[in-house]
Amino acid sequence: MDLQRISELLQPFFTNDVCNALSLEGAFAEPAALSKEQLQQLSNYLDLLLRWNSRVNLTAVRQPEEVVARHFGESLFAARHLFPSRAQTRANKRLIDFGSGAGFPGLPIKILVPEIELILVESNQKKATFLREVIRRLKFQAAAVLSDRAENLDIRADTVTLRAVERFESSLRIAARLVVSNGRLALLIGEAQVKSARELITDFNWMKPIRIPQSASRVLLVGTATHE
């Protein structure tokens, strides 16, 4: 897809009006801008996703512009709120994307914030192979894929993300265990799931949900771990 068109489709997720009003850290000084290199990475990622999707069924969304707006946009919106400054990035260096699937939100977050260490957790072997190919093709540093069973995971991270997983409640419990003390659990979920998430994971301080642009019911819900 043309880089200019990708930029246009993503613009609603980078507006200062949205981020100033809802930022986890307060107002952003300036809207973040995607560089030409980052746009090219997104374009290459999109090409790989569309090519593999016909064989592996990575996502039910198959129209390129819809993939950009729904998957890339939502992931980058989360990235802006989770890493609004270099100081926040330094304080939250490692990110685990649990149940990564086609790589959302982890891979777009890595494109926007290349300094983070990214671990994609995906038990489906075909999807894990796809994720490794994206990492190789985009020449990411400090990025890896783990395809172990959830109960075998022995890792922790400053930030753990969760989006569009099967068995939401059991996945949420596992994801919460991967968060270090004072670390963050970031959920990209439907508004109807907010109440159950808060009731299920009680050892987190949950912030007010942040509505995702161009969505009637999708929100970003972030909690800070209070456990030791």
CA distance 72 to 186: 16
* Nearest Cα residue to 122 out of 161, 89, 158: 161
Please report, for the chain, the start and end positions of each structural domain, with discontinuous segments joined by +.
3-23+32-225
Question: Residue type at 189?
Answer: I
Question: Residue type at 63?
Answer: Q
Q: Is the pLDDT reported for residue 175 higher than 60?
A: yes
CA distance 159 to 25: 15
CA distances from 172 to 40, 55, 184 (A): 33, 28, 13
Superfamily of domain 3-23+32-225: Vaccinia Virus protein VP39 (3.40.50.150)
CB 32 within 8 A of CB 7: no
187 bridge partner residues? 162, 221
Helices (H) and strands (E) in the chain, counts: 10, 8
Q: Is 155 left (phi over 0), alpha (psi -120 to 50) or beta?
A: beta
Q: Label residue 109 by pLDDT band (50, 70, 90).
A: very high
Chain segment 188-220, per-residue pLDDT in tens: 999 999 999 999 999 999 999 999 999 999 999
Q: Report, as an integer, the average pLDDT of 138-163.
A: 92
pTM for the model:
0.92
